[in-house]
Amino acid sequence: LNHVNHEDLRRMVKHNMVDGLNVDLSTTPEFCRTCMKSKIIRQSFPKESSRALIKSYGDKVVADLWGPAPKRSLGGKYYYMLLKD
């Protein structure tokens, strides 16, 4: 289930969508620092600044790097890179 939120977990148990999961539905969810960090709001990037300059493939490339992973991938790597053209 990865890191499902408390309300979705409650709904899955209530509607018998999972087997073998013992959850006390009367408990209050604990504060999750990772969830709070991932929901931090930041200013959007300006949309008009670079759109006019993009005319063809390769004019703008966006990259995202994730890692290190706790375990190596099948290829023996610890990092994941996404490139979007």
Q: What is the pLDDT of residue 1?
A: 52
d(Cα 81, Cα 63) in Å, to the nearest integer? Answer: 7
| Phi-psi sector, 69: left (phi>0), alpha (psi -120 to 50), beta | beta
**Is the pTM value of this prediction over 0.85?**
no
d(Cα 9, Cα 27) in Å, to the nearest integer? Answer: 12
Q: What is the pLDDT of residue 52?
A: 67
Successive 10-residue mean pLDDT values, the chain, 85 residues: 74 83 76 71 65 79 90 90 90
Q: What is the pLDDT of residue 81?
A: 92
Domain ranges of the chain: 6-84
Q: Are 44 and 67 in contact (CB under 8 A)?
A: no
Q: What is the pLDDT of residue 78?
A: 92
